[in-house]
Chains A and B, each alone.
Chain A
């Protein structure tokens, strides 16, 4: 595995699981923002393309102690990405300030090593040609390139929005490498009706996420693998935090 990569700017997402209602607006916003074509058979979950998936968590207790939660899962943009080191053609890399793991579709040969390497199931393979039914092509955006069948794709924190935010900062005479809090936000964070998704630069003390990730209630998924994800979750419920990794019964989370 490659070494941990650190950057001056680290874009992180913090998802407050206690606020998430599982409505799926983030998934819908992601699909339209990133030109994900309507699926030929959306019921076949092994072959659907989804960059952002909401998982349902349960504490598996009988009534009246039963409790549940929802966990939206984008790409974790790992600090130590397992997908990057296995790519034989360097179609994916973590080399830009901000730490977003890039995926270059024309370079991808569709070997799917990265899909197997990702412990978060964040990467998906395009099994079908992207087809927009008559009229629906109007939803296409020029900001994201479409992917052909046979390549791997994944969430990139709506990277085009970062480029646009930098352009806007330049036009206003501001430093594009020091964006204000909220100047750059992925579409899922923008659409979330309960405001469960926060986004910002973890290295910038002026950004809200800088403090959020220091909370004892903040955790990351499978943290002990050492992947150092840039997506944090937040929950005051101990059973939710416990599901973030494989803990022994004796361990406190």
Chain B
């Protein structure tokens, strides 16, 4: 680990220094990495010196897998400090596994989690706390930090902000991609009042300069929990980074291609989608001649979601094919293969996902295969070519697929353009820009007031 040196500033110029903390940062290929990548790049583009604390490259090459094309698009001015990280969940060498783990990996993980939470109440990642604290202080001593922004999960990413605030008065922002105490799928509170997690979160939220959430329902849930701090809460939606290129592809009466791009975790109702698709193919000659292409990882970690793996045997007979992961630089070419999109998401009124914005940016018809109460429905409610379902019954999904197939055939280039234009409201820089400007003002005001860095 090496500490960064400040970027030379011209006379009179003050480049604020952001310490950005994200366990998953490129080349990590995890689904949450795009927000981290875009946020760090946006601060750098806005004239900040940015130092990122993240996990070592080997953590990703030997577990989740990597996307080097994304890594190449990290702003070269950003200093990346890779903080040593060790967790059993990321130990993929079977020779290092005890027999008990090989025999009952799920149970072993539960028992091991207790050990990992000794220093911070977070499974798998809690043990990172001491190394993160040291790294944050080391960076601050070398190049004083004006602001810390932690991107969770993991929530241990909030620790550097907490430490630098306690020791040096540095303000910090908490950025939640999901939530800590709220299960965004079930809506249940997962950590009881008084638990270590509840105490930690309250302490962190109390002292935070701002807290970001990805959608309004998650913000409201936290506002109810921390009413005296709700004025510091902001929705910073995910948005999309660049619209997929327009294509000249025209849907064909001979058969359409429905596409899904995204991580297929166990929460994604692929089984429901397949049931609905099978039924739709019996009803529509067009769909009987059509195909589904699934692209993305089969889980958040580097190992497959076995519920899907088990269903793959029936894919071919139903016109479904799985194509593996997509690198960031190739995503536009993949969207160009599709006539319509399948937005399959886990159920939960707090679930937005990141891909909904990119889907919208294509202008293609979108079939929503998720609970209608999902927050993603709020994003697409006024979309020009959206086909939601009232429930996840095969009949309902089949109806939506048939309707979307007609829309895909009938969509004119002008209508596609209009749909893309409608989606420009979800460009990520429209989400981040105002927040970064506001933080810049806060940092400059502190500096003008003589607050020591």
Q: Decide if A and B are genuine partners.
A: no
- Chain B interface (Cβ < 8 Å from any Cβ of A): none
